[in-house]
Amino acid sequence: MRLLVVEDDPTISHFLVKGLREDQHLVDLAEDGEAGEAQALTGDYDAILLDVMLPVLDGFEVCRRLRAHGLDTPILMVTARDTVGDRVRGLDTGADDYLVKPFAFDEVVARLRALTRRGRTRSLTAVLQAGPLTLDQEAHQAAVDGVPVSLTATEYRLLEYLMRRAGTIVSRDQLAEHVWGGDYDPCSNLADVYVGYLRRKLAGTAAADRIRTIRGLGYMLTRGAS
């Protein structure tokens, strides 16, 4: 997943960003409400972790503004404010879930999966599947007919993104955003190179040829049994 963390406490933000990156996600950080709003509106994120007590704009106002702009990205509010009134206010401003500090990192990840499952996209079950090809998002393991396929972290993110959007065309720009984030030169052929790496990893398996090139548009991972 590509995530935005909006948190001004450096201890908490370091904990979240480090843990989420180690869990194979792409993570951007904003340290005040105004910056968080701007990044959320310009970036294509799968989910947003939004603190309530932020400088410049508080999390409630950021959430309200994002929804007013029509942004439907799932939002998980993370805060020390645990009264019923605060939780109701957060949900009423458009948050999808509300997590009270202190929290366990595993709960953050589980809630993000749940939000994305029921949110705007059709993604995340714990195990994604396209015919014989599976991707266990908890174990970070791909397999074909139950036989593990060894992937690098970048190959894993690429396959995850393609599988979450199986059956639809994914452009090179979308791959750049979700697999490399801001570390991608738009003139580079890196996406094509890594699709080639991934195809070679799947060659000789029942999932060979599942990643199709759509000329002039991008790539598509086919769904279904064949």
Can you tell me the mean pLDDT for 91-98? 84
Closest by CA position to 155, among listed 113, 202, 218: 202
Can you tell me the mean pLDDT for 141-162? 93
Partners of residue 77 on adjacent β-strands: 50, 98
- Do strands 141-144 and 147-149 pair parallel, antiparallel, or not at all (unpaired)? antiparallel
Model confidence band, residue 203 (pLDDT cutoffs 50, 70, 90): very high
Domain 127-221 has CATH 1.10.10.10: yes
Specify the domain boundaries for CATH 3.40.50.2300 within the chain: 2-118
Q: What kind and span of H or E run contains 139?
A: none
In the chain the first and final C-alpha atoms are separated, in Å, by 26
Contact 177/2 with Cβ under 8 angstroms?
yes
Partners of residue 127 on adjacent β-strands: 136
In angstroms, the CA 33 to CA 196 distance is 40
Its pTM stands at 0.60
In angstroms, the CA 31 to CA 9 distance is 8
CATH class of 2-118: alpha beta
Q: Is 92 exposed, middle or buried (0-12, 13-18, 19+ CB in 10 A)?
A: exposed
Dihedral of CA atoms 27, 220, 148, 16 in degrees, nearest 10, equals 10
Cβ-Cβ contacts under 8 Å for 188 (sequence gap 6 or more): none
Whether residue 17 is predicted with pLDDT greater than 60 in this model: the reply is: yes
Whether residue 138 is predicted with pLDDT greater than 90 in this model: the reply is: no
Can you tell me the mean pLDDT for 123-140? 76
Specify the domain boundaries for CATH 1.10.10.10 within the chain: 127-221
Supply the pLDDT for residue 46.
87
Whether residue 101 is predicted with pLDDT greater than 50 in this model: the reply is: yes
Whether residue 116 is predicted with pLDDT greater than 80 in this model: the reply is: no
